[in-house]
Amino acid sequence: MHGGIEHKTGVLFVCLGNICRSPMAEGAFRVAAQERGLAVLVDSAGTASYHLGHEPDPRAIAVARAHGIDIAGQSARQIDREDFYRFSHIIAMDRANLEALRSKAPRDGTARLAMLLDALEGRRGEPVADPYYGDAAAFEAAWQVISRGVEAWAEKLRREAAQQSA
């Protein structure tokens, strides 16, 4: 269905605009996966189309950079039908994103849908608050919770990969 390297695992992070939360998650997860030697396809998308082709919000770029991660080269896109087959996991930032994914998912789509904080003990179903209308502190707070969430997902996927190869 798609060319190039076949990854057993693919993770797509999804928010509303694909310019704030999911680009930060994509950038942080790439590093977390690399640190664990996980071969995984990583991308992000929005449920809405307002910002197609835009780079991440300058405040998201700045907070990622402050934490040593470059997300400036990313470009916003909208979730599409193919994503529900290409990715093993599609991870939403909040409940509205998850509901939008459920309504767009093809009946035979193979991706598992979840929320970012589901991987954190005791925080299942909690949203990552949208920092778009907030200030730099809101972006820093979003980064903190997103980086904990992606670390937990990377650990979970690493354990699953280890079990599968055992």
Closest to ligand 4NP by CB, 9 or 13 = 13
In 3D space, the residue among 77, 96, 99, 74 whose CA is nearest the CA of residue 86 turns out to be 77
Please identify, using beta-carbon distances, which residue of 78 and 161 lies nearer to ligand 4NP: 78
- Looking at beta carbons only, is 9 or 44 nearer to ligand 4NP? 44
Tell me which stretch binds ligand 4NP (CB under 6 A): 15-23, 62-70, 99-107, 143-151.
15-23
Minimal CA–CA distance to 140: which of 75, 80, 59?
Answer: 59
- Is residue 33 at the binding interface for ligand 4NP, with CB under 6 A as the rule? no
Which residue, chain included where needed, has tokens 């996991």? Answer: 89
- Is 118 among the residues known to form the active site? no
Residue whose entry in the numeric block shows the structure tokens 């903190």: 144
Question: Is-catalytic flag, 80?
Answer: no
CB distance 15 to 21 below 8 Å:
yes
Q: Does 59 bind ligand 4NP (CB under 6 A)?
A: no
Handedness of CA 36, 58, 20, 140 (dihedral sign): positive
Report residue 18: phi and psi, to 5°: 60, 35
Instruction: Among 132, 134, 148, 155, indicate the residue that binds ligand 4NP (CB under 6 A).
Output: 132
- Give the other-Cβ count within 10 Å of 136's Cβ: 12
Catalytic residue among 83, 94, 130, 158: 130
Q: With binding defined as CB under 6 A, does residue 129 bind ligand 4NP?
A: no
Active site residues: 15, 21, 130
Residues binding ligand 4NP (CB under 6 A): 15-21, 50, 130, 132
